[in-house]
Amino acid sequence: MSLSDLRREYALAGLKESDLDPNPFKQFDTWFQQALAAGLPEPNAMTLATATLDGKPSARVVLLKGFDERGFVFFTNYESQKGHQLAANPLAALVCYWAELERQVRISGRVSRVSAEESEAYFRSRPLGSQLGAWASQQSEIVGGRKILEDRLEQLTQEYQTKPVPLPPHWGGYRVDPQTIEFWQGRPNRLHDRLRYTAQTGNQWLIERLSP
């Protein structure tokens, strides 16, 4: 079968304006809880797109680790490619895609670091191996071989056998404060439902339907 023959008809559900919560964060929570209830693998996986100051884009999958009316939170190495790009150009886009539910959510907005206290609290919740990995890896930097990483991890494992692993100064969270949030529901004949929230003054949101 050729790529041009790969297609899927979407027919699970529709999305009406009357179905939407006026608050996009509550609407996102509704869809996210439904993704959890459906038992989807890693329902918090999302694509994060960033760009350099001169507009060169890059994208990768990260994990959503929190959301509320302040925005959507993920954690990473501040010295990674995305960290450097966000330092120079603090705008980003997120895409959550739940194929089994024929849904996606697109989020775009300004990015800022979360507080040190938030980063510390999340770091403490991570498995020990993940804590050590944050120290072992110079994310996005060229490494001469996997053994270098494994040796570094072993060294750190020995060093922190009897004491807590500190939060690395180069590691922590980012929050995307959305300007727009779009909810997409697949529909037959590619006439999908697309409903977009755009931030207004006074914590209000404008809801508009977009052509598919």
So which residues are the catalytic ones?
190
Q: Which residues of 136-173 are buried (b: 16+ CB within 10 A; e: fewer)?
A: bbebeeeeeeeeeeeebbeebeeeeeeeebebeeebbb
**Cβ atoms of residues 156 and 164 within 8 Å:** no
Q: Write out the E strands in the chain.
A: 45-51, 57-63, 66-68, 71-77, 91-98, 103-113, 171-185, 193-199, 205-210
